[in-house]
Amino acid sequence: MTFSLLALPLGLLIGVSLGALGGGGSILTVPALVYALGENPRQATTTSLVIVGLTALTGTIGHARSRRVRWGPGLVFGVVGVGGSLLGSSLNKLVNPNVLLLAFAGLMLLAAGAMVHRQQSAQRESVERSSATRVAAQGLTARRVVSIAVVGTSVGFMTGFFGVGGGFVVVPGLVLALGFRMGEAVGTSLLVIAINSAVALAARGGVVAVDWGVLIPFTATAMAGSLLGNWVAGQVPASVLVRAFAGLLVLLALYVATRSILGLV
């Protein structure tokens, strides 16, 4: 085991992003592990599950103190995602590493677009809040049950296959399917991420070894960063955070895609 000092600032950055944005920050973990710390893609996705899961759990505690976590719906979303998480973990073992990273680049572009759209929806929330409240009060309709199943399974699959949390999908899913306010959706999404990460990690069952010299400092600083992210979210306008992070994801996606394509030819 070799201790990596580079893991400290990287973990802090990802933890702050996850805590401040409630999702999306964890998508930086795999590229950081592959290109900055030298792990192979399959090992990186496994290491990412531990880092993302524990960081999300820490973030959940922070949001729970502010009463922004809806435990019942969060547990339901997590349970619904179990099947997708197991499937994603199984497929991860069968895919060419460069194909995995190329798909990951596409996921980052999707995340960037989803986060910007989510922020625009949040800005309209004050106008539409009464409508959202009415939706929440209607109870579970067949359409909403289907929405929960589709979103939960999709997020579980992404967690198992890519080693990411999928908060950029969970948050709008909670807002649209269950009528959550944005703050509650962000806090509850972290609970869902923690559950899906634990299931996906258990499914891999030690098949891929992790480098504890990277994992321990990375996770520790990411957990601390997630608490700092809660504070940052209250100091910096959300629109600024989201647009800056989305721009970073686009640039990183282009880099990952280029490296992956060159690795395939």
- Structure confidence at residue 140 (pLDDT): 58
Give helix 82-92 / helix 142-162 axis angle, nearest 10°: 30
Structure confidence at residue 111 (pLDDT): 81
HSE, CB side, 13 Å, CA atoms: give it for residue 51: 40
Quote the CA–CA distance of 49 and 55 in Å, as a whole number.
10
Nearest to 59 by CA among 9, 85, 21, 30: 21
CA distance 93 to 137: 43
Count the helix, strand and coil residues of the chain and give each as a percent rounded to the nearest 5: 85, 0, 15
The arithmetic mean of pLDDT across residues 186-206, rounded, is: 84
Residue 102's pLDDT is what? 92
For tokens 């967690």, name the residue. 159
The stretch 27-52 carries a mean pLDDT of 85
For the stretch 83-140, pLDDT in tens is: 888 898 889 888 898 998 999 899 888 888 877 776 676 666 554 554 444 444 455 5
- Contact indicator for 168, 23 with CB cutoff of 8 Å: yes
Phi, psi angle pair for 233, to nearest 5°: -60, -25
DSSP 10-30: HHHHHHHHHHHHSSSGGGGHH
Residue reference for tokens 């709008």:
172
144 vs 65, higher pLDDT: 65
Work out the angle at residue 76's Cα, subtended by the Cα atoms of residues 72 and 79, and round it to the nearest 5 degrees. Answer: 140
* Gap between the Cα atoms of 49 and 200, Å rounded: 7
Q: What pLDDT, on the 0 to 100 scale, is given for residue 133?
A: 47
The model's pTM = 0.75
Q: Which has more confidence, 210 or 153? A: 153
Regarding predicted confidence, which is higher, 260 or 149? 260
User: What pLDDT shows up at residue 193?
Assistant: 86
- Residue 136: the pLDDT is 47
Residues 137-157 as b or e (16 or more Cβ within 10 Å = b): eeeeeeebeeebbebbbbbbb
Say what the pLDDT of residue 260 is.
Answer: 92
Q: How many CB atoms lie within 10 A of CB 207?
A: 11
